[in-house]
């Protein structure tokens, strides 16, 4: 299946990726199953040559091959609807993430840039896995689903979304272990894999943007703009990222990327394509949006982070939620954005007892 070539307005052409469909996914998965069966069949053939009774082995193999069908695959009926059960994991005109049966998820890169990120992600997951206690998805097969466009068939991590399940006290310890593990990943090795380095954001610039957005939300009766008065320009300056504090960060620790079990344990972490070497406060901010500010700060504190990075993460999250809600107040994601704003603005004891001028510089 070759992608179409379209003019780009400058007389040149650009590649348009084919639209993934259920049939596209089903054919890809069936080819993977066929390859796996043939690989196992080849090993069986090699073993049979060493058998004392080669005739019996041959007869047995022939019978088995007739029973299983071509490629060692159990024949299926139903035309285009035959094959494994596949369905989009997310709604959209061009779904790129598909459930395959009950134990696997297929992710298709829609363009060349996404392909580069996905290939880097596969290598990064192998680097991260020994350092974090939560499960990191493993790829059972990967390659190209269209010319120049990659795919990975990953094992499904059992559990529910962090957007749907609350994290327990033990789950907070899981998050602390995650933050600790990320800090232990060798930065140089991550950068060797192609993980980019991201400069820390200016909290003061974000504060100014949030002040403007808060006025818009206040006019719509969505937010009390005076709540941002707690973060003064001097305070934002005090919470600037510290030199030499860069670590490997997941950078998108949303609830959708946390796999949480019914008992509140964090069982897995998904979505490593956006990982960067950068400000650890960004992951604390992500956790504030996912599980609430109190739980995020408790987890970061357990991981050994001091008041400064915890408060910086808290205010990154708070300002982000104000800006994002104002930008999409009438959009389809408004309910999720309101939920994240509520979580980020939950009060925490640390900000009540900490003088920003005296905040420690730990980590």
List beta partners, residue 135: 268
Task: Assign 23 a pLDDT band (cuts: 50, 70, 90).
Answer: confident
**Of 4-8, 31-35, 144-148, 241-245, the least confident:** 4-8
Mean pLDDT of all residues in 109-116 = 95
Cα–Cα distance for residue pair 169/45, rounded to 1 Å = 53
- Give me the pLDDT at residue 354, please: 61
Give first-to-last CA distance, the chain, whole Å.
Answer: 50
Mean pLDDT of all residues in 206-233 = 97
- Give me the pLDDT at residue 317, please: 98
User: Mean of the per-residue pLDDT values for the chain?
Assistant: 85
- Give me the pLDDT at residue 51, please: 52
Cα–Cα distance for residue pair 17/106, rounded to 1 Å = 17
Cα–Cα distance for residue pair 186/328, rounded to 1 Å = 38
Task: Assign 70 a pLDDT band (cuts: 50, 70, 90).
Answer: very low
Cα–Cα distance for residue pair 259/134, rounded to 1 Å = 9
pTM for this structure?
0.82
Domain ranges of the chain: 22-155, 160-358
136 pLDDT exceeds 70? yes
- Give me the pLDDT at residue 236, please: 96
Helix (H) or strand (E) holding 128, with range, is helix 112-128
- Give me the pLDDT at residue 49, please: 54
Q: Which fold has domain 160-358?
A: Aminoglycoside 3'-phosphotransferase; Chain: A, domain 2 (3.90.1200)
Mean pLDDT of all residues in 7-34 = 71
Task: Assign 40 a pLDDT band (cuts: 50, 70, 90).
Answer: low
- Give me the pLDDT at residue 58, please: 46
Cα–Cα distance for residue pair 135/316, rounded to 1 Å = 27
Half-sphere exposure of 303 (CA within 13 A, CB side): 29
Mean pLDDT of all residues in 282-293 = 98
135 pLDDT exceeds 90? yes
Task: Assign 331 a pLDDT band (cuts: 50, 70, 90).
Answer: confident
* Buried-state track 146-174, b at ≥16 Cβ within 10 A, e below 16: beebbbbbbebbebeebeebebbeebbbb
**Of 104-108, 306-310, 349-353, the least confident:** 349-353
Cα–Cα distance for residue pair 209/315, rounded to 1 Å = 13
3 pLDDT exceeds 80? no
Residue 59: count other Cβ atoms within 10 Å of its Cβ. 11
What percent of the chain lies above the pLDDT cut of 70? 78
Mean pLDDT of all residues in 170-179 = 98
Task: Assign 22 a pLDDT band (cuts: 50, 70, 90).
Answer: confident
- Give me the pLDDT at residue 16, please: 61
Mean pLDDT of all residues in 289-309 = 97
At the top level of CATH, the class of 22-155 is alpha beta
Mean pLDDT of all residues in 231-259 = 94
Task: Assign 36 a pLDDT band (cuts: 50, 70, 90).
Answer: low
């Amino acid at each position: 299946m070759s992608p179409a070539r379209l003019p780009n307005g400058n007389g040149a052409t650009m590649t348009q990726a084919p639209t993934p469909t259920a049939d596209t996914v089903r054919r890809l998965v069936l080819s993977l199953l066929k390859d796996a069966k043939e690989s196992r069949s080849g090993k069986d053939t090699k073993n049979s040559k060493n058998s004392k009774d080669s005739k019996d082995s041959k007869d047995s193999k022939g019978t088995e091959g007739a029973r299983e069908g071509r490629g060692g695959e159990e024949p299926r009926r139903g035309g285009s609807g035959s094959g494994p059960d596949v369905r989009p994991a997310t709604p959209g005109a061009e779904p790129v993430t598909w459930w395959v049966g009950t134990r696997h998820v297929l992710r298709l890169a829609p363009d060349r840039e996404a392909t580069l990120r996905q290939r880097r992600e596969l290598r990064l997951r192998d680097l991260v896995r020994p350092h974090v206690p939560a499960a990191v998805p493993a790829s059972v097969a990967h390659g190209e689903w269209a010319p120049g466009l990659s795919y990975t068939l990953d094992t499904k991590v059992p559990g529910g979304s962090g957007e749907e399940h609350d994290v327990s006290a033990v789950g907070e310890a899981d998050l602390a272990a995650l933050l600790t593990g990320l800090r232990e990943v060798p930065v140089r090795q991550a950068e060797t894999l192609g993980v980019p380095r991201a400069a820390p954001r200016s909290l003061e610039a974000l504060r100014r943007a949030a002040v403007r957005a808060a006025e818009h939300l206040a006019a719509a009766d969505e937010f009390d703009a005076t709540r941002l008065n707690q973060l003064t320009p001097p305070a934002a300056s005090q919470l600037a990222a510290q030199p030499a504090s860069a670590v490997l960060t997941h950078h998108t620790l949303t609830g959708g990327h946390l796999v949480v079990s019914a008992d509140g344990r964090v069982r897995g972490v998904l979505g490593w394509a956006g990982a960067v070497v950068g400000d650890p406060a960004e992951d604390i901010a992500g956790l504030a949006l996912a599980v609430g500010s109190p739980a995020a700060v408790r987890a970061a504190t357990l991981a050994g982070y001091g008041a400064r990075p915890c408060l910086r993460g808290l205010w990154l999250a708070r300002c982000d939620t104000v800006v994002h809600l104002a930008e999409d107040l009438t959009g389809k994601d408004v309910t999720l954005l309101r939920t994240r704003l509520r979580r980020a603005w939950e009060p925490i004891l640390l900000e009540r007892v900490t003088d920003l001028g005296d905040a420690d510089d730990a980590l």
